[in-house]
Amino acid sequence: MAKKEQNSNNNNNSNNNNNNGNNNFFNNNPLLIFVIFSIVTIFAFKAIFPEDQVGSETNANMQAFGQSTNKTIPYSDLKKMITSGKIEYVGIGNTQIKAISKMGTGQIVTYTARRVIPDETLISTLEKNGINYGGINEENILADILFGWVLPIFIFFAIWMFIAKRMQKSMGGGSGGILGIGSSKKMINSEKPNVTFDDMAGNKEAKEEVQEIVDFLKSPDRYVRLGAQIPKGVLLVGPPGTGKTLLAKAVAGEANVEFLSVSGSAFIEMFVGVGASRVRDLFEQAKKVAPAIIFIDEIDAIGKSRASGGPMGGNDEREQTLNQLLAEMDGFSTDAAPVIVLAATNRPEVLDPALLRPGRFDRQVLVDKPDYEGRIEILQVHIKEVKLGKNVDLKEIAKMTAGLAGADLANIINEAALLAGRASKDQVDPSDFKEAVERQIAGLEKKSKRISPKERKIVAYHESGHALIAEITKGANKVNKVSIVPRGLAALGYTLNTPEENKYLMQKHELIAEVDVLLGGRAAEEVFIGEISTGAGNDLERATGIIKSMATVYGMSDIAGLMVLEKRTNQFLGGQTQKDFSDAMAKDLDDHTKNLLNERYEIVIQKLKDNKVSIEQMTAELLEIEVISGERVREIITLNGGKVFVDEDLHSDAIVSKENITEKKEVIEEAKTAEDEKEETK
């Protein structure tokens, strides 16, 4: 315990030193520094270009007469003295006239009179009497201070403020430091959320994982007296739209603590050291309002592995920010001031290992896409303000939306409400929800898009081929709807195959079945039209990708055996692969892909020929009514002598037959009797 206290003191001292270095005299008094700078600049300018150089030429004649006494007289008396020849020299200003008496009269006197304007006879009188004259500078202390000091400082200050504001806007700087670059106050959203766990449906496991954080923030003494240490950081990982930010807000709302949220990209600026300064500022604010939760969204923006930059180095600013974050998470204690750091990312594989070690983000919570029950719960949350029709079944909507995230489900409900409002309905019907799901999956329906009868026929045969192969093939997703109405950007028709449940594993026969379904459209064009088209481009691309993945990633081919040829990355963002095989293996892989595609294509063609009547009937109905349901597809196949494959229910006990259960029971009972006999003989 003594070592821990010493280490924490050292960390605190280092943080204080850093803060003291950041809060120096120059950063705390920027205006005073600027005024001093302005005064020094003006003094230097006046030293280089003194005002006496301008005034020396005009006042030299006045000073040449030496010491004199000053006397103020009326302008009329001064003109009389000029006429009488008592004046030696006259200096003419804008408002005053100064005259020097002749030397022979005793003490030299400087007569000052206020000039009367206009007086055009003065110059002629001086020239008539042979008196020298010139101009003088009239000194005004107030004007000299105003125009020589105040005005330049004001102009400098205005320029400085303009530049500072422009730089703050362009860089997003706050109010701290010189120009406010280092502060993060304006970038931090501080609040006490009203969100609770009831507002976040689905992901029961994720809520259970963070429940102990809520308990610790509510009653930390219960854990401290037992010697337990709450995790300092919890990393929320998962695909986009699954509710990671909402979960973090729910933790703060359940615990009723301050919630400080900031984006990871807000720490990175063009100036080196700004990100580190903002990290320090963030933790300082959290300590002031403790107990609190710090939430850093998209932490991969600053938490990328430092080894990813290669031998030539990486981003110095990002690395300094990451180093400061690591130091801050080590430097504060959750016992004295409970501050817990939550972070969210879609790319946990790119984070620095030092960030994921115990004592920092030592716990990862997966916030995955919801399952069937989770989707029902999410739908129930989002329909609270929606007026539903009596025949709306959320279970049916949940079955149609397998694989969608919570954000997608919320968008579907909103889209259904918009469709009902557009049709001036009093409530949202099941048809609105079905159309909203199709919009989410396939895109917007384009009824105004005109296609020729020839193209409609090609599309009808194409989609009928997809639908039939999907229904008669083991492991394929069942058909929900077949349409030849254009949707989206390029689709002239579509076959909607929606599994009722998320699939986390796929067997080899299911992958082959998906390839067969994709090839069904192209095969139908060749069998029933006699010529192929460009409509199967995307289908062939997807089929090729599946077969290659079977060989390179899943070890489902003889070409590479169990060897993995590609590594998967960014699994939450669609997935990317990194190839790791030789040129010879690449040639074998291409040959394998080509041969397997041709093999499956011939099998699909034969299946279509065997079900020719069903295809023709489906195509005729599509050309007539444009849309048919999955039930109608199965009905057509059955009526024409075809066999619709009924898949096993993987989410019930039906996968294990009663015969297998009885056989297993008999084997277990025989083993028990054998063990009992051995014990009796002993």
DSSP character at residue 487: B
Is 463 catalytic? The answer is yes
Cα gap 253→378, rounded to integer Å: 19
- In the prediction, which pLDDT does 9 show? 46
CA 355-357-358 angle, 5° bins: 130
Could you tell me which residue, 579 or 334, shows the higher pLDDT?
579
- In the prediction, which pLDDT does 360 show? 84
- In the prediction, which pLDDT does 17 show? 47
Strands (E), 372-420: none
DSSP letter for each residue of 537-599: HHHHHHHHHHHHHHHHTS--BTTTBT---EEEE-GGGT-EEEE---HHHHHHHHHHHHHHHHH
pLDDT in tens, 42-82: 666 666 655 544 444 445 566 666 667 788 888 888 888 88
pLDDT in tens, 562-577: 888 887 776 666 666 6
Report CA-CA distances (Å) from 238 to 245, 247, 298, 353, 401.
11, 12, 11, 18, 18
Model confidence band, residue 515 (pLDDT cutoffs 50, 70, 90): very high
Cα gap 219→214, rounded to integer Å: 9
Nearest to 486 by CA among 542, 539, 444, 453: 444
- In the prediction, which pLDDT does 322 show? 84
How much is the pTM? 0.65
pLDDT in tens, 441-469: 777 766 666 778 888 899 999 999 999 99
pLDDT in tens, 392-424: 888 888 888 888 888 889 999 999 999 999 888
Is the sign of the CA dihedral 496, 517, 540, 616 positive or negative?
A: negative
Is the sign of the CA dihedral 633, 639, 644, 646 positive or negative?
A: positive
pLDDT in tens, 535-549: 888 899 999 999 999
Query: Of 463, 471, 514, 526, which residue is the catalytic one?
Result: 463
- In the prediction, which pLDDT does 275 show? 77
The torsion defined by the Cα of 393, 396, 401 and 403, in degrees rounded to 10, comes to 120
For residue 122 the two structure tokens come to 């003065």
Model confidence band, residue 19 (pLDDT cutoffs 50, 70, 90): very low
- In the prediction, which pLDDT does 610 show? 92
Alpha-helical runs (H) found in 23-64: 25-28, 30-48, 52-63
